Amino acid sequence: MHGPTSTGIPTRKLGMWTFIGSECMLFGTLISTFLIYRGRNVVGPYPEELLNIPFITVTTFVLLMSSLMMVLALAAVQRGQRVGSMLWLFMTALFGLIFLTGQYIEFSHFVHEGLGLSRNLFSSTFFVLTGTHGAHVAGGVIWLGTLCILSLRGRLPPERAETVEIAGLYWHFVDVVWIVLFTIIYLLQ
């Protein structure tokens, strides 16, 4: 499917944006549920006892910076800088992986403290909300890792920058969701 499009926007990019629009409703519903059930726990442990703000600030920072790596990767691909593309894509995926590791540490800490998935409403909503986000991050890491290998093999010339741009849109959206979740879950207790 070639040629100019009716809107001037590349078709795959428009597709990604519509998908992102749909994802807004997905996370919107999850956030609603989290907020509706806030403070309705019958048994502990309660969120204020367990949420570790300094720790999560660090992983939040890592995810935020991965977005920077992502735009740098895209810029490198667009300019045809092969080493740069590879390096920045790798860094983006790596930072995503660090974020996921942080999430794993946080989850296992909660479980260790007796806050399993079905302990109370906080744990149910928290794990499903952050878990859904984490699954999105994991998908992104796999996607970016694949792109990194492609660029290693020299298969990401500037003409294919759109492929990276679309992955980038997804990645930034996942980051934006975390900006919201960080505030709502951790800071607005």
Partner 1 sequence: MSEHSGEPHVSNRFYVVIALILAVLTAMEVMVFYVEALSPVLLPILLVLMAVKFALVAMFFMHLRFDSRVLTGIFGWCLFLAAGIILALLAVFGKFTT
Partner 2 sequence: MAETTVNQATGAHEEGTWSGGVWSWLTTVDHKRIAVLYFVAGFIFLLVAGMEGQMIRLQLAKPESRLLDPDFYNQMFTMHGTTMVFFAGMPLIIAFFNFVVPLQIGARDVAFPRLNAFSFWVFLFAGLFLYASFFFGGAPDGGWFAYMPLTGSQYSPRTGMDFYVLALLLSGVGTIAGGVNFLVTILNLRAPGMGLMRMPLFTWMAFVVSALILLAFPPFTIGLVFMMFDRMFGTLFFNAAAGADPLLWQHLFWVFGHPEVYILVLPAFGVVSDVIPTFSKKPLFGYPVVVFSGILIAFLGFGVWVHHMFSTGLGPIVNAVFGGATMLIAIPTGIKIFNWIATMWGGAIRFKTPMLFAIGLVGTFVIGGLSGVMHSSPPSDLQQTDTYFVVAHFHYVLIGGTVFGLFSGLYYWFPKVTGRMLSEKLGAAHFWLTFLALNVTFFPMHFSGLLGMPRRTFTYAEGLGLETFNLISTIGAFIFTLSFVPLVLALWRAWRRGEPAGPNPWDAATLEWTMSSPPPHYNFAVIPQVESRDSLWHPHIDPGHVPGAGDAEPGGVTPRLQPDPAPEPVHMPNPSFWPLILALGMLVVTIGALIGLRVVIPGVLLMFVGLYGWAFEPVEG
Residue numbers at the binding site for partner 1 (CB under 8 A): 6-10, 13-14, 17-18, 20-22, 24-25, 27-29, 31-32, 35-36, 53, 57, 60-61, 64-65, 67-68, 70-72, 75, 78, 161-162, 165, 168-169, 172-173, 175-176, 179-180, 182-183, 187-188
> Quick one: residue 114, left, alpha or beta (phi over 0 = left, psi -120 to 50 = alpha)?
left
DSSP state of 42: S
Exposed, middle or buried, 188 (CB in 10 Å: 0-12/13-18/19+)?
exposed
**Phi-psi map region of 157: left, alpha, beta (phi>0 left; psi -120 to 50 alpha):** beta
Q: Does 29 bind partner 2 (CB under 8 A)?
A: yes
Q: Is 156 in contact with 77 (CB distance < 8 Å)?
A: yes
Interaction of residue 19 with partner 2, rule CB under 8 A: yes
| Least distance CB 111 / partner 1 (angstroms) | 25
Residue 35 contact partner, candidates partner 2, partner 1, none, CB within 5 to 8 A by sort of partner? partner 1
In the bound complex, what is the minimum distance in angstroms from residue 104's beta carbon to partner 1? 22
Q: Is 188 in the site for partner 2 (CB under 8 A)?
A: no
Cβ neighbours of 76 (radius 10 Å):
23
Q: What are phi and psi of 72, to 5 degrees?
A: -65, -40
Q: Are 110 and 63 in contact (CB under 8 A)?
A: no
Interacting residue ranges for partner 2, rule: CB under 8 A:
1-2, 5-7, 9, 11-12, 14-15, 18-19, 21-23, 25-26, 28-30, 33, 36-37, 40-43, 117-118, 120-121, 124-125, 127-128, 132, 146
